[in-house]
């Protein structure tokens, strides 16, 4: 199923410098397309994959709101411009989250968690190193999600 999501819908990818760890978030629909209120109308259905050596998690229907994505985009852009040293990325549904921290060499530490299976499974803590090139690619991916699934105003 993963191939269909990532080839057909916008996604954001955050990878480690060494290529061994990767988090992908793909938006494939609005969760409540017929909603008549601003809060429900803006929720997105997402497919998430997370890979590290010897472990892979796939979670379907991770919920993010468009407004939440926009908020994180602003935070990530400040981080990428070196105006902020830390960003906490934690979606509305707390199945995963991570903190980006700039270190002295302009490399980025990614420290986070993922609960798998979502909602009741064990929480795996992870960390990996990346750099601003990968942060910028993640930003571009989140922007592509908001282009195809813009914030809904009711």
Sign of CA dihedral 11, 64, 56, 4: negative
Across the chain, mean pLDDT equals 93
For 69-89, what is the mean pLDDT? 97
Express each pLDDT in 9-28 by its tens digit.
999 999 999 999 999 999 99
Express each pLDDT in 44-72 by its tens digit.
999 999 999 999 999 998 789 999 999 99
Domain interval for residue 56: 2-148
The predicted pLDDT at position 80 comes to: 96
Cα 78 to the chain's mean position, in Å?
A: 17
Domain annotation covers residue 57: yes
- In the chain, pLDDT over 70 holds for what percent of residues? 98
Q: For the chain, what is the radius of gyration of the CA atoms? A: 15
Answer whether 2's CB lies under 8 Å from 49's CB: yes
Does residue 35 carry a pLDDT above 70? yes
- Please tell me whether residue 142 adopts helix, strand or coil conformation: helix
Domain annotation covers residue 114: yes
The predicted pLDDT at position 57 comes to: 94
Domain annotation covers residue 47: yes
Domain annotation covers residue 154: no
27 vs 22: CA distance, rounded Å: 17
Domain annotation covers residue 43: yes
Tally of domains in the chain: 1
The predicted pLDDT at position 153 comes to: 84
In the chain, what's the furthest Cα-to-Cα distance? 48
The predicted pLDDT at position 2 comes to: 57
Q: Which of 19, 20, 45 is nearest to 31 (CA)?
A: 45
Domain annotation covers residue 153: no
**CATH number of the domain where residue 140 is located:** 2.30.31
For 122-129, what is the mean pLDDT? 95
The predicted pLDDT at position 4 comes to: 84
Does residue 124 carry a pLDDT above 60? yes
């Amino acid at each position: 199923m993963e191939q269909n999501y990532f080839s057909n819908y916008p996604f954001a990818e955050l990878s480690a410098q060494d290529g061994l760890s990767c988090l992908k978030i793909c938006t494939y629909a609005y969760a409540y397309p017929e909603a008549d209120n601003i809060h429900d109308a803006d929720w997105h259905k997402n497919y998430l994959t997370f890979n590290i050596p010897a472990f892979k998690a796939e979670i379907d229907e991770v919920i993010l709101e468009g407004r939440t994505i926009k908020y994180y985009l602003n935070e990530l852009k400040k981080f990428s411009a070196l105006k902020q040293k830390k960003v906490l990325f934690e979606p509305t549904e707390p199945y995963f989250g991570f903190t980006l921290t700039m270190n002295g060499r302009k490399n980025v530490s990614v420290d986070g968690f993922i609960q798998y299976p979502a909602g009741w499974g064990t929480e795996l803590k992870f960390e990996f190193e990346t750099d601003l090139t990968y942060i910028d690619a993640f930003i571009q991916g989140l922007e592509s999600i908001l282009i195809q699934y813009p914030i809904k105003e009711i």
